[in-house]
């Protein structure tokens, strides 16, 4: 697929900024140009453009802020995603939805794509709501993943939360690789299972990072959302 036939929502976010380095000729409209809560505006924006794929990464992603303002998460992550699904249905466009490892309860880890979901906070429920809409469209792929800045931005990291998180640069490259494959359904993208502290240290061994426990937080987070990414490895090597 040619880059100029791809539209990426959330292009000014952490992931979008990295994907731009790999797909410089794709379309990255601002939220004011392509407001996911305004279906008619999005439809008008697409007029005259030959878009064949929409990668939907735009989202409200802060768990503590969503706890305080869940209505915004409903609008952006659930209603907005449903609008994107309807848009792709109408225009017969392929859809790739960027979801999260937080859709899992986090009491097991090493989750496969068909594992039972059970979000533990409102952010994760809002992303799960997006997945529900995307699952109604046959020509769609849900990517569950976890990523952070290329440099760990915090002074502390969890020693008791396990993840498959990788740097946004690594995840962006993996997403671009899988999008070239004509697959639908759900795929998990990430790295090996490790604590957030181990992940943080892997980005820069010389950086001083203090230890932190999830018990110290004022909001709920899952303990182990590590992903089984063997299906991804199988696909990209085909």
**SS3 sequence, 15-73?**
HHHHHHHHCCCCECCCCCCCCCCCHHHHHHHHCCCCCCEEEECCCCCCHHHHHHCHHHH
Identify whether the C-beta of residue 27 lies closer than 8 Å to the C-beta of residue 8.
yes
Which residue do the tokens 């209603």 mark? 79
Q: Read off the CATH number of the domain in which 143 is found.
A: 3.40.50.720
Structural domain of 219: 3-236
Confidence of residue 219 (pLDDT cuts 50, 70, 90): confident
Identify whether the C-beta of residue 221 lies closer than 8 Å to the C-beta of residue 167.
no
Confidence (pLDDT) at 238: 77
What are the tens digits of pLDDT across the range 138-150? 999 999 999 999 9
Structural domains counted in the chain: 1
Taking residues 11-32, report their average pLDDT: 97
The predicted model scores a pTM of 0.96
Identify whether the C-beta of residue 171 lies closer than 8 Å to the C-beta of residue 145.
yes
Q: Parallel, antiparallel, or unpaired: how do β-strands 162-163 and 156-158 relate? A: unpaired
User: Cα 211–212–218 angle (5° rounding)?
Assistant: 170
Q: Is the pLDDT of residue 218 over 90?
A: no
């Amino acid at each position: 697929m040619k880059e100029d036939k791809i539209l990426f929502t959330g292009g000014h976010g952490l992931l979008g900024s990295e994907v731009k380095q790999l797909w410089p000729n794709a379309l990255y409209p601002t939220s004011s140009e392509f407001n996911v809560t305004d279906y008619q505006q999005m439809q008008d924006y697409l007029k005259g453009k030959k878009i064949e794929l929409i990668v939907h990464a735009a989202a409200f992603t802060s768990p503590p802020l969503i706890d305080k303002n869940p209505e915004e998460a409903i609008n952006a992550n659930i209603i907005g995603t449903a609008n994107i699904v309807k848009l792709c249905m109408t225009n017969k466009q392929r859809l790739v939805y960027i979801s999260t490892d937080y859709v899992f309860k986090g009491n097991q880890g090493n989750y496969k794509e068909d594992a039972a979901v059970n979000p533990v906070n409102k952010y994760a429920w809002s992303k799960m709501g997006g997945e529900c809409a995307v699952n109604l469209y046959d020509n769609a792929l849900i990517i569950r993943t976890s990523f952070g800045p290329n440099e760990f931005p915090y002074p502390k990291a969890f020693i008791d939360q396990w993840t498959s998180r990788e740097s946004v640069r690594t995840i962006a490259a993996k997403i671009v690789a899988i999008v070239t494959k004509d697959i639908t359904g759900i795929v998990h993208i990430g790295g090996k299972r490790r604590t957030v502290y181990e992940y943080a240290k892997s980005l820069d061994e010389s950086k001083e990072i203090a230890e932190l426990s999830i018990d110290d937080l004022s909001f709920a987070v899952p303990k182990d959302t590590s992903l089984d990414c063997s299906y991804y490895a199988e696909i990209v090597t085909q």
